[in-house]
Amino acid sequence: MANKKYKDSNGRWKETFGSEALTQDQVDKICETYNVSVKNNCFVFGPPKTERERLLNQVTYWIANDNFSRSRELLKSIKFTTKMINAYINDEVEYQKRHPKDSGHLEYKNKPMPDEFRVGIN
């Protein structure tokens, strides 16, 4: 989906997604900017470089281990809204069900959290 900008009722610019597919240049820019790659037509996080990326990887780990409350706490800590949290968790659960190997579900389920996901005292 391609990114489109529009003004909301307060005159502020917002971004949304359109119906046309992303070009390869757009995909490459997203991958470079956000440290992701494309697998099965989905964006997948690369090795975490920042604390925020480590926290998002922890969310994936906790969802694989059916701990949704911990996932919600982590997403709140990085300023996700309730609507964004629900959408993120629902999407991640569906992705882990459809692609357990690619999503890390098989790798993380009932196993200790990888050290590269840890932030501070977590």
pLDDT per residue over 56-68, tens digit each?
Answer: 889 999 999 999 9
Structural domain includes residue 11 = no
For residue 90, the enclosing domain spans 50-117
Structural domain includes residue 34 = no
Q: Which of 97, 119, 110 is nearest to 62 (CA)?
A: 110
pTM of the model: 0.67
Structural domain includes residue 102 = yes
| Domain count for the chain | 1
**pLDDT tens, 68-89?**
999 999 999 999 899 999 999 9
Structural domain includes residue 7 = no
Structural domain includes residue 76 = yes
